[in-house]
């Protein structure tokens, strides 16, 4: 297995700034928004989105997260354990910003949306992903994207958020 850092701290910070800014400049009514991170990689980015909304508009959005493991069409190949989903608020009629670190096939997002609908019926779900690596198998398109990075089928994009520093690695199976 070969690992390669794709984006340095300066590049990642710029992408993160533009990513958050595109969300903040959208026509979303943040007074009625819920932030939902997809476990596990989307949770730190969901917190960054929530913090940016609070800082810019002084609006404290509720935040939760989903672990869509049981909703996947390949649950045993993805993860052996299931974490709790926490949506400690009423989602009916609300706008949700669903956040993940990386999107590829779209299956994780589809499974997450299926789980959200078990909790109620939101007005709208918008998708925000930090990295779009392509390779969609389902017709799912993010509303907000930090950066598109094309990689091969044997390559994985991994995003690490450590001490507020974000590292984007490309992992090639050999």
Q: What is the pLDDT of residue 82?
A: 73
CATH architecture of residue range(s) 27-150: 3-Layer(aba) Sandwich (3.40)
pLDDT at 80: 60
pLDDT band at 77, cuts 50/70/90?
Answer: low
**pLDDT band at residue 9 using 50, 70 and 90 as cut-offs:** confident
Burial of residue 105 (number of CB atoms within 10 Å: 0-12, 13-18, 19+): middle
Q: How confident is the model at residue 165 (pLDDT cuts 50, 70, 90)?
A: low
Spell out the domain ranges in the chain: 27-150
| pTM for this entry | 0.91
């Amino acid at each position: 297995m070969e690992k390669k850092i794709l984006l340095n701290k300066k590049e990642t910070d710029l992408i993160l700034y533009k990513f958050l800014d595109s969300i903040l400049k959208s026509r979303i009514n943040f007074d009625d928004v819920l932030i939902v991170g997809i476990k596990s990689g989307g949770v730190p980015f969901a917190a960054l989105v929530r913090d940016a909304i609070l800082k810019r508009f002084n609006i404290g959005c509720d935040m939760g997260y989903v672990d869509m493991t049981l909703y996947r069409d390949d649950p045993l190949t993805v993860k052996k354990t299931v974490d709790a989903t926490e949506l400690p608020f009423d989602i009916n009629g609300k706008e949700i910003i669903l956040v993940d670190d990386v999107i590829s096939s779209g299956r994780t997002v589809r499974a997450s949306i299926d789980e959200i609908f078990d909790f109620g019926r939101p007005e709208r779900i918008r998708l925000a992903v930090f990295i779009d690596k392509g390779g969609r198998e389902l017709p799912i398109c993010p509303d907000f994207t930090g950066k598109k990075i094309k990689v091969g089928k044997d390559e994985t994009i991994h995003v690490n958020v450590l001490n507020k520093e974000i590292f984007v690695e490309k992992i090639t199976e050999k």
